[in-house]
Amino acid sequence: MQTNNVKSVLQAWHLIESLNPSEVPGKEERIKKGYFKDNQDRNRTKLIQLEEYPWEENQLKDEEKYKVQYQYYMSCFEHYKLVDFIRGILKNSDEVINKDYKTLFGFSFSVDDEGNYITGSVFVPLLMYVMKRMIQNTENYYSNLLVQFEGQLKLFEEEIKNTFINGVTSESLIKVQQIYQRYFYQVEDNDIHYLELKVVKADKKVPIQNFNSFYLRDLVNILEKGENEALRQFIQGVNTEKRIDINENREYIEMILQPSHIPDGRWPSPVEHRLSLMQQVAVNQILNNNQQISSVNGPPGTGKTTLLKDVFANIVVERAKEIIKFKDPTQAFQKEKTIKVDDYHYPIYILAPNLGGYSMVVASSNNGAVENISKDLPKEKEVIRTSNEKEPNYYDALYAEEASELEMYSSVAQDLLGDEIKTWGLFSGVLGKSENIYNFGQTLYKSKENGKGFIQQLEEESEIITLENWENAVKDFQNIFESIRKKKEELQKFSNNYKGNLSLSDSLEKKKEQILVFEEEKIKIDNRCEYLEVQRKLTEQQIQMVPKLSFFKRLLGKKNVKKLELEKELNDIISELKGKQEEAYLKVEQIKDNRENKGREFYFYRATKLL
């Protein structure tokens, strides 16, 4: 695939992401009556007329514990009408067999429990701007699309804020619709609008639900700056000749499993359930091949999560190697700038650049699987296991002892997981969607059980931990790391010697085989020499027995043909005999050399085995 074709694929992706519609949520859901004073159930999302003022109707029983928020979905239309529009633009007249009747919206915004517009809550699907550009017959309507859309959205939001300054009313809603049509496309003229009712805890922020594509800005940057090699290979595909099939490639497996490639850190899994051969191959390959993207495939239960734990553990260790380079742990953060808020100056710090490369994105088609990994890692049972055996494994017992003594903010991890799950420490958290991110941030600041949040614990520890504590921790890490380094070095030396011994052993076997071959060839040569010697003597006797020519025949110049033939035969025999004798001498020398080399290699082989 040529570079131009790669760019065409990227442009197609950009267009597809731009055409992503937004659906009205919750049309079939209900909110339980227990929240409301009139003790009546409510539809979560319903059709609404602009003259309705729902905040006057939905009165909560406990306004201190809960609050109400509304989400308007304006200029709604059915999905198949969007399809008809795009097919019309692309001049596709094929019949649509199964029409999609789900409800989409043109724009949306939030209103509080008193009917006031919530500033900054307006959302317009990028699709609605793309459609307007399409209808205007703008060529390359994806060119500079995102920048222009954001500019239009900003102007639209400013006008909305001014229109709703005295609250949300039927008049202001009609005016907002008119403003919308100046900036974006309205699929149909029918006034179809929906309202979503949200009941949330009073101390919680209502999560944002509507987003345009997360990939658009990245795609724009790639189209402007050009794709990198990884993306180019993803689109074009990789030449199969460059791929390594390791299923039957023992040499590659042995290379990737060399002790020098073993990670310095590993997850404290049960010793008897250590990584299998191919799991360790996958871990070593991920950590040593210096590739930015790695794919781990396999059906459920084949150990994908297990090997990922070892990858996580090694990333933590590798980052620790960088952290201990700081004489003072505060050097891990560098002051970027200071911002002023309400007459207070707040310094903003960023992570030191040498600590920024130790992260990993775990992606899966199953979001639940990735979420489960994040939830499982901090659980106590992941590192502390109870054994029914009378004598548990020594190393498993050590893991359990170390983990029980370790204080890694387990209370915070427990707050994040909830459900009274015991945790060993704060190792990972479930992020991703905005609700998870919000809950994660809130939990770090405030404990669910009115205890100490993560930030408070850090502040208190910063008052009592000294630089000496840091230096001692660095020394402990260095000692452990040096011990591991030496063990890996010894193992690598042993592996090299073992590999060398195997090579010597193979060489000795080959020398034995060569000596046997040379000896067999020498026997054949000797037999041939004996045969030629016999033939030489017989031929000499035959020459002596040939009668001499008479005087007259010799006088007439006649030649003794029989004698000449025998003499030629004798010369041939003597010549071959000399050649075979020389060949026999060379074979003797080869046998002698091979025996001497074999002796030296055997001596070295025995010496290395004793090391």
Note the pLDDT tens digit of each residue in 322-336.
999 999 999 999 988
pLDDT, position 469: 92
pLDDT, tens only, 135-161:
876 566 666 788 888 899 999 999 999
Compute φ and ψ for 72, nearest 5 degrees. Answer: -85, 135
The more confident residue out of 233 and 317 is 317
- DSSP 8-class letter at 183: H
Structure tokens at 202: 């009073």
Please give the average per-residue pLDDT across 94-115, as a whole number.
89
Structure tokens at 496: 């090299």
Distance, CA of 184 to CA of 125 (rounded, Å): 10
pLDDT(597) > 70: no
Please give the average per-residue pLDDT across 15-25, as a whole number.
85
Compute φ and ψ for 197, nearest 5 degrees. Answer: -100, 130
Using 50, 70 and 90 to split pLDDT, how confident is the model at 610? very low
Integer CA distances (angstroms), 243 to 219, 229, 239, in order: 28, 16, 7
pLDDT(389) > 70: no
Using 50, 70 and 90 to split pLDDT, how confident is the model at 601? low
Number of alpha carbons in the 13 Å side-chain half-sphere of residue 545 = 6
pLDDT, position 386: 67
pLDDT, position 607: 54
CA-based end-to-end distance of the chain? 56
Angle 593-599-605 from CA coordinates, rounded to 5°:
135
Amino acid, single-letter form, for residue 286 = I
Q: Where are the domains of the chain?
A: 21-212, 248-292+302-360, 378-465, 484-610
Distance, CA of 338 to CA of 128 (rounded, Å): 39
